[in-house]
Every structure is written in C-alpha cells, then in structure tokens.
Amino acid sequence: MQRVQTQTQATGPEHYPKYLKLAKSFERQLRMGTLRVGDRLPSIRQLREQHSISAGTVIECYLWLEREGYIRAHPKSGFYVTRTPVSCPEPEGAAPPSRPVAVVGTAIQNIGDPNTASVQLGPAIVSRCLLPLARLNRSMRLALSAFDDTAVTYEEPRGNIRLRRQMARLMFRQGATCSPDEIVVTSGCTEALNLAIRAVAKPGDVVGVESPGCYENLQALEALQMRALELPHQHRTGVDLERLESAARKHRMKAIMLTSSCHNPLGSCMPDASKTAIGAFAAKHGIALIESDLFGELVFDGTRPRTLKAFDTDGIVLQCSSLAHYVAPGFNLGWIQAGRWQSEVERLKSFTNVANARLTQLALAEFLESGAFEKHVKKLRLALWRSVEATREEVLRTFPAGTRVSRPEGGYVLWIQLPDRYNGLDIQRQAAARRIHILAGEWFSPTRQYRSYIRISCGHPFEVIQPAVRTLAGILKDKHQGK
C-alpha cells in the first residue's frame, strides 16, 4: 500500500537499522513461501557481498531471525529455516443494521484493577517498562525549575503556547498545516472527542461510527445522548463509501467518527485515495469528520501516514489526538484542531474545565522540544511490532482451529474472531476470574455485533503476554470440551 509523503516525512523504513530491513526481507520471503522449512540461507560472506554491508550487519540479521525462531545455525554448515510465519485469513466483517440506534450500556465490565491484575490485555495501554520514564522525570524537573510566580494562575483555555507549538509541528509531520492558535489542549483524546461531538451535534442527532470501532467513541455518544449509525469498516480501505452514500440518502448524519491510521481494533491504515474520497463525500453532504488519531506514529514500517486533516480543504475535519497512551499516560494530555468549529470548541472548553494544569503541559513541551519523542517512538515501534507479531503467532498456534486474527500495520492490538460456538463476553468473564483482562468484541459495536470476537492488547513484552495467551487457550479448550 502506498502513501503520499510530505517533504518532512520519511519515504519508508530507511531509518530502521540495516540488519532489521534485511531480516524483514527474509521474513517476507518466508511468508510468501519463497523460503521453506529446511532451506539453507546464504552464507555471511555471500550476503555481505550481495548487499555491500558489513559482516556484523549480516550477523545481527541472522541473530534476529534466530531469536524469532525462524532459523537455526548448524555448526560448520550454515543457517537453516526451522519454521515459517503462521498465516491465516483475517477476521470477517459483520452486516450492521441500517438504522441509527440509541447507544446504551457501554460501561465495560470485568476489566479489573490494572494495579492488581496479573496482566492487562484489555485496555490499549503500554507497559511501564516501555515508557520513557527517566526522560519524562527530567522533563518534569526542568518544568518545575522554569516555574515562576505565574505557576499558581490558570493557564489560558487553549493551552500552553509552548506545547501548542509542538503539537502544531507534530501535525505538520502528518501532512496538515495549522497555527498553534488553532489548537486546543485537552485532557487526553477523550475530552477532545467529547468537545468535537458537542461542537457539531446535539442530543438525538445521528453520528456515523465505524463497525467495528473504538468503544470510547460509543461511550461518548451514550453520555451525550446521540444515536449511532454503524458503518462497516473494510480491511485496509476504511469505511464502505457505497454504504455511506446510501446512509446519507436515508439519514441526516451530523458527523462521522473515523480512525484513518492504525485503526482500533483492526490495526489497518486507510489509503490516501480513500481519505480523499471520504473528504469529498463529507464536503458534498455537509457532514463533519471527527478523526481520532492516537496510534498513527506507531506504524511498524516507520512511515507516518497522512491524517484525514491533511486532505481537508474545507475545514470539515476535527482532528483529535493524544500521546497519553504510549508516552505519558499520567499527564493525560491531548489536543483538538477543529477547523470551522474552532471557536465553538474554544467556547465549550472554556466552561467545561477552564484549562489543563500548566506544569504537565510544560513538561510535555520540554519532552517534545528536546527530540526525546522521536527517539522514544523509534524504539517503541520496534518493541511493539515484535510483541504483536509474536502474540499473533502464539494465538494461531494455541487457539482453536478456525480462529482468525487481524494483521495490524501498526499500533498494538489484535482483533480475534473465534469460531461461532464461542461467546466473547463469556470468555472475558472467565479470563477476568483468572486475573487476565481482555475485551469482548461486543464492546466495539452499539448493536452488540461481534459476539464471537475478542480484542487483545499487546502493549507488554511478549514474555509477559505469552502465559496469559496460553491460559486463554486453555479456557477455550475447556469450553469446547464442555468443562
């Protein structure tokens, strides 16, 4: 899949280490069947000469493939393929109802306390060991030292200007140009989404939602007493435009809530052609597009996709973003760039919570200004890719025959379709009883579609996730045997 790049973006995964690019090329050959179990790989000397790289790079490549379990060294003989990546069909879509529904009962049950759980595979959170804690502590100390007698006064409602400048620079990386004055700092993406919905619609209005789609969007619609119209999200293409056209003729939608990069829960990215088409559709029908961009920086190949906002020429996209999930959860900071609804969002923010705390805004601004963000994301992206790939293969090895698992392009969640005999909510409850927390597929649909689906978060190192996945496999086996 190709993505149009801005001049400031990388044109591919060139910033990855050479050994990893070479290792991934071998992995692709394994997936396509070009290499099979038992095949001998080229010698270190042959690869060094073919690719004009050092012997050390080749060795690192083979060590990576060996750690992943793909190859094994035979003394005085060379490296041989021992297994190939497990592949399977991806989860199927559903046929959501064609009428809007009132959103009710979105309060998720049986997630458990993250401080007491043995492992959290439910919420999309990153393990503490993968967060830049030491660098954030330094940023906080620097922010404290910069405090003056204005520290005890309110920050302006739009947010700290230093932080808004950095957020505008992040948006420029994503292909969208905006002024810091057009950004409003929020309490994470949740407040941004709530402000966006309130700015464009009122109780009783119809809002289009992706199916499957993020349960936090549904919780916001329930709280604001709005109706949801499910729109099928197709793998790697996004919302079905034919269904959109049909829906626009039948219902007066005020907005559509979308995720174009690292979709939750599928992990796929919408191609630029689809972004252009949906933007033209929304402009034609006068429908606001509320874009949730949480994980776009975590595309595995390092190519930052352009956001819907980058294609917005009419001010109809309200982009809601946050770094809370994978940089600084405790800071809980996000932002919104609301296009033609900017003044209304500023008005709503001013009497919702006045402003966010200044200290955490200064600390996050310092973190972004220092260049630490790019270093953190580069390292995290690789760690999450390893965790997702290993967990995916573990699920396919241990779960019942017929299980389908998503193949994410980024982020760190897996969408799993179990055979029809299983009920995802029942599996969630049994897992919670064993202090393992997952999410049933029902939470990702306002009409409780996806009864045999579950979502697993892979924000921990695989050695933490693997025992939990095997416990889940045991639960599924017991259910099948009627225990």
| DSSP symbols for 449-464 | --TTEEEEE--S-HHH
Size (the chain), residues: 483
- Would you state the pLDDT for residue 115? 53
User: How many Å apart are CA 308 and CA 290, to the nearest integer?
Assistant: 9
Query: Residue 451 corresponds to which tokens in the numbers above?
Result: 């009864």
User: How many Å apart are CA 389 and CA 117, to the nearest integer?
Assistant: 23
> Which residue, among 247, 255, 279, 249, has the nearest Cα to 205 in the 3D structure?
255
Fold of 131-373: Aspartate Aminotransferase; domain 2 (3.40.640)
User: How many Å apart are CA 43 and CA 53, to the nearest integer?
Assistant: 13
Query: pTM for this one?
Result: 0.82
Cβ atoms within 10 A of the Cβ of 358, count? 20
- Would you state the pLDDT for residue 3? 38
Fold of 13-81: Arc Repressor Mutant, subunit A (1.10.10)
User: How many Å apart are CA 268 and CA 264, to the nearest integer?
Assistant: 8
Query: Residue 321 corresponds to which tokens in the numbers above?
Result: 């973003």
Query: Residue 11 corresponds to which tokens in the numbers above?
Result: 């044109």
- Would you state the pLDDT for residue 303? 81
Residue 91, phi then psi, degrees to nearest 5: -55, 145
Whether cis (ω within 30° of 0) applies to the bond prior to 305 is no
Give domain 105-128+377-481's CATH number out of 3.40.50.2300, 3.40.50.1100, 3.40.50.970, 3.90.1150.10.
3.90.1150.10
- Would you state the pLDDT for residue 86? 66
Domain boundaries, the chain: 13-81, 105-128+377-481, 131-373
> Which residue, among 263, 294, 101, has the nearest Cα to 192 in the 3D structure?
294
User: How many Å apart are CA 329 and CA 128, to the nearest integer?
Assistant: 10
Side by side, the strands of the sheet bearing 404-405 are 404-405, 413-417, 453-457, 439-440
User: How many Å apart are CA 468 and CA 214, to the nearest integer?
Assistant: 23
- Would you state the pLDDT for residue 147? 74
User: How many Å apart are CA 243 and CA 299, to the nearest integer?
Assistant: 28
DSSP 361-400: HHHHHHHHHTTHHHHHHHHHHHHHHHHHHHHHHHHHHHSP
Digits of tens for pLDDT over the chain (483 positions)? 333 333 333 334 445 678 888 988 898 788 777 888 888 999 999 999 999 999 999 998 998 898 777 898 888 888 998 877 766 788 998 877 779 999 987 777 655 455 555 788 998 989 999 999 999 999 999 988 877 666 667 888 999 999 999 999 999 989 898 999 999 999 999 999 999 999 999 999 999 999 999 999 999 999 999 999 999 998 878 898 888 888 888 999 999 999 999 999 999 999 999 999 999 999 999 999 999 999 999 998 788 899 999 999 999 999 999 999 999 999 999 999 999 999 999 999 998 888 898 999 999 999 999 999 999 999 999 899 889 988 998 999 999 999 999 989 899 999 999 999 999 999 999 999 999 999 999 999 999 999 999 999 999 999 999 999 999 999 999 876 665
